[in-house]
Amino acid sequence: MSAIQQVASVSSLTSTPSISFVSVTPEIAQRWLRGNTVNRKIRQGKVNQYASDMSAGRWTHSADMICFTTDSKLSNGQHRLLAVIQSNTTITFAVQRNVPMEAMVNMDTGAARSASDVLGWNNERNAPLLAASAKLALVYSDGRIYKDNKVQATSHGAIVDFIDVNPELRHSVAVGQQTYTRVDCYPTVLAVAHWIISSANTAEVADHFLGQLASRAGEAEGSAVLALDRRLREIRRVRASYTHRDFLALVIKGWNYYAQQTSRSGNCSSRPAARSAFPPPRGGHDDRRRMPQLPMPGYGRGRRV
């Protein structure tokens, strides 16, 4: 009999805390949750996040145990058990039984590890910006960018997987880092805008646009670059409250107009970067999305792009 099996076999026969490893099916999770009477309020966004990782095979063993009190009440692990049911998967957990009720005082009180920490362990450069940019690019890609923060919750594993599938994001992050000191915009937004533009065109085209936005060299009055730069400066001046999503929509609108201008002049063959929902390419807007408007020089009053 293995050490794990020995521990599991005696865990119910002693009043001292004991640990076992259990393959938890949805049926077991449902049974254990019947004793869930001393836990905090369910956070559905966290359940969705865990369930997504379980369904995608990203869930790994954790040092955080499923815990039961001395009278068999579930004291830790409700979100993971609900995620097992939601994902209809079987997951192996470390389970600790006969945990004193007073131990709940110290549960989940440690410093949480961030996606940036995980990327740092993987020796990624500029891990904080890469993690933030990957999350924004991910929620943009899968349509969650219009949802509330609970729906946008993204696991560390999903962020790591997204970077593995989209390695070019690292270059976009480097450009965003280099550009933001000369542009009134978040580096995360600039990085993701670069990535979106690159996806529809090439990295060189995106490099050029962000470079022009930073330097404004040779831009004539009426150019989309100058209009975008002025709008960003105005937002800072009046201290308007813009989210990362709003800034991203604004930069992409500026890019779409820039692509339209350069196509008309024959200077390049750039294509609008965004799908129709974020924001509509080359002008127009969707009032349901309440996206910020970018007034462009050279149009009549009231024309928005």
Angle, helix 203-215 to helix 224-238, in steps of 10 degrees:
60
26-69 pLDDT, tens digit per residue, is 999 999 999 888 777 888 888 998 998 899 998 988 778 999 99
Q: For residues 284 and 197, which has the higher predicted lDDT (pLDDT)?
A: 197
- In the block, tokens 């996040």 appear at 49
Six-digit token string for 164? 């593995």
For the chain, first and last CA: distance in Å?
A: 71
Tell me how many degrees the CA angle 230-233-236 measures, rounded to the nearest 5: 150
| Confidence at 105, pLDDT banded by 50, 70, 90 | low
The predicted model scores a pTM of 0.62
Longest distance between any two alpha carbons in the chain, whole Å:
82
Give the chain's mean pLDDT.
Answer: 80
Spatial strand order of the sheet with 66-69 comes to: 18-24, 91-99, 66-69, 74-76
Q: For residues 263 and 305, which has the higher predicted lDDT (pLDDT)?
A: 263
| Confidence at 10, pLDDT banded by 50, 70, 90 | very low
Can you tell me the distance from the alpha carbon of 177 to that of 187, in angstroms, rounded to the nearest whole number? 6
**CA separation, residue 111 to residues 76, 87, 107, 173 (Å):** 17, 28, 11, 26
58-101 pLDDT, tens digit per residue, is 898 877 899 999 888 898 999 999 999 999 999 999 999 998 87
Contacts of 290 (CB under 8 A, 6+ apart): none
**CA separation, residue 294 to residues 226, 234, 244 (Å):** 11, 11, 16
**Do the Cβ atoms of 47 and 79 come closer than 8 Å?**
yes
Contacts of 272 (CB under 8 A, 6+ apart): 200, 255, 256, 259, 260, 281, 282
User: 181 burial class (0-12, 13-18, 19+ CB within 10 angstroms)?
Assistant: exposed
Q: In this predicted structure, what is the pLDDT of residue 291?
A: 34
